[in-house]
Amino acid sequence: MRQVLPIVGTLAAALGWIAPEKVGELTSQILAAAGPVMVLAGTLWSYMANSPKSIIQSAVQIENKDPKLVKEVRAEIKQEEKDKAMGA
């Protein structure tokens, strides 16, 4: 964003859409607002991606695409559970 905004601002000033002296001010305001917006968007994305519904949907997609892989993973999990039970 720090590289693109000045370019867009310069083009906008060259085309007469905004006054050249306002480019720096607008760039600063946009960058000041972009930080919190990106943090909020990242937090929302992380919450949605790590929700149980999303995780289950991903697992179903994997199971539909590669059932053999799913069987192998389930076998590994069972083996780990047996190993834990034997060691406990």
Asked if residue 65 and residue 35 are part of one domain, the reply reads: no
Reading the block at residue 10, the tokens are: 């310069």
Q: For residue 79, which phi and psi values (nearest 5 degrees)?
A: -65, -45
Asked if residue 13 and residue 42 are part of one domain, the reply reads: yes
Between 29 and 57, the more confident residue is 29
Find the mean pLDDT for residues 10-16. Answer: 89
Split into its structural domains, the chain has a count of 2
Asked if residue 69 and residue 31 are part of one domain, the reply reads: no
Tell me the pLDDT band of 36, cut-offs 50, 70 and 90. very high
Asked if residue 43 and residue 81 are part of one domain, the reply reads: no
Asked if residue 87 and residue 46 are part of one domain, the reply reads: no
Rg, Å, the chain Cα set: 25
Q: Is the pLDDT of residue 11 over 70?
A: yes
Q: What is the pTM of this model?
A: 0.47
Tell me the pLDDT band of 10, cut-offs 50, 70 and 90. confident
Question: What's the 3-state SS for the chain?
Answer: CCCHHHHHHHHHHHCCCCCHHHHHHHHHHHHHHHHHHHHHHHHHHHHHHCCHHHHHHHHHHHHHHCHHHHHHHHHHHHHHHHHHHHHC
- Domain extent for 5: 1-50
Asked if residue 68 and residue 45 are part of one domain, the reply reads: no
Instruction: Give the tens place of pLDDT for each residue, 65-87.
Output: 877 887 888 888 888 888 888 87
